[in-house]
Structure 1
Amino acid sequence: MSVTEKDVRYMADLARLQLSGEEVKSFAQDINKILDYMDRLDELDTSDVEPLEHVIDLDSRLRKDKAEAPLSHDDALKNAPDSDSDYFRVPKVIE
């Protein structure tokens, strides 16, 4: 699989990024290098390798969950940068 400059422009458009021609070329090369490396990894025989989550054995160091009273509707709206009546106002993200 190969990524073209057209693909990079499409992805940049989806992410709402403006890239120069040089950046498009650079990203296309970088992405293709990553994909080539992933193809090489895909060729490795891992049938005798035991699956693991971490290279080293780690104990869970998460704290215990503690239930607390949630924010009231009014307090949540007070934290909002912009609100209208009982609603949060957010910038338009869909054209």
Structure 2
Amino acid sequence: MEVNDALIRQLATLSRLEIGQEEGEEIRLDLQRMITFVEKLNELDTTDVKPLLHMTRDVNVFREDAVIPEISREEGLRNAPVHTDEYFSVPKVIKK
């Protein structure tokens, strides 16, 4: 597959990006390298290779869930510019 200026403009339009001429050339070269790499992978014989579900053989590796208090509520609220006795006070961000 060849990456040309029309494809770069189409991708820019779809992604709502403004791409200049120099950036377009750099993106074209990067995309061409990626596509060449994927096409090279298609040359491999994978008929006897099972698909991977995980990258390692480790299954369900979990750590022990332990509650370790780091700082008290008072220490956490001490640095807040505006707070009550129990909570941070933040400006309203949802408008009706």
Which TM-score tier does this pair reach, normalised by the shorter chain?
A: 0.5 to 0.7
Asked if residue 55 in structure 1 is aligned to residue 67 in structure 2, the reply is no
Superimposed CA distance per residue, residues 36-93 of structure 1 (whole angstroms, 9 cap, x where no aligned partner): 111110110011222221231232368xxxxxxxxxxxxxxxxx83443xxxxxxxxx
> What are the equivalent positions in structure 2 for 1:81-92 lying under 5 Å apart?
81-84=93-96
Q: Distance in 2 between matches of 1:12 and 1:58?
A: 41
- What is the TM-score when the length of structure 2 is the normalising length? 0.59
Matched, 1:25 2:25: yes
CA–CA distance in 1 between the matches of 2:94 and 2:11? 31
Greater Rg, structure 1 or structure 2? 2
Corresponding letter in the other structure for 1:57: R
Q: Residues of 2 paired with 1:61 and 1:81: CA distance?
A: 39
With the length of structure 1 as denominator, give the TM-score of the two structures: 0.60
Contiguous gaps of at least 5 residues in structure 1: 63-79, 85-95
Number of residue pairs the alignment of both structures matches: 70
* Structure 1 CA distance for aligned equivalents of residues 8 and 48 of structure 2: 38
- Asked whether 1:42 is paired with 2:54, we answer no
Please give the root-mean-square deviation of Cα atoms over the aligned residues, in Å: 2.5
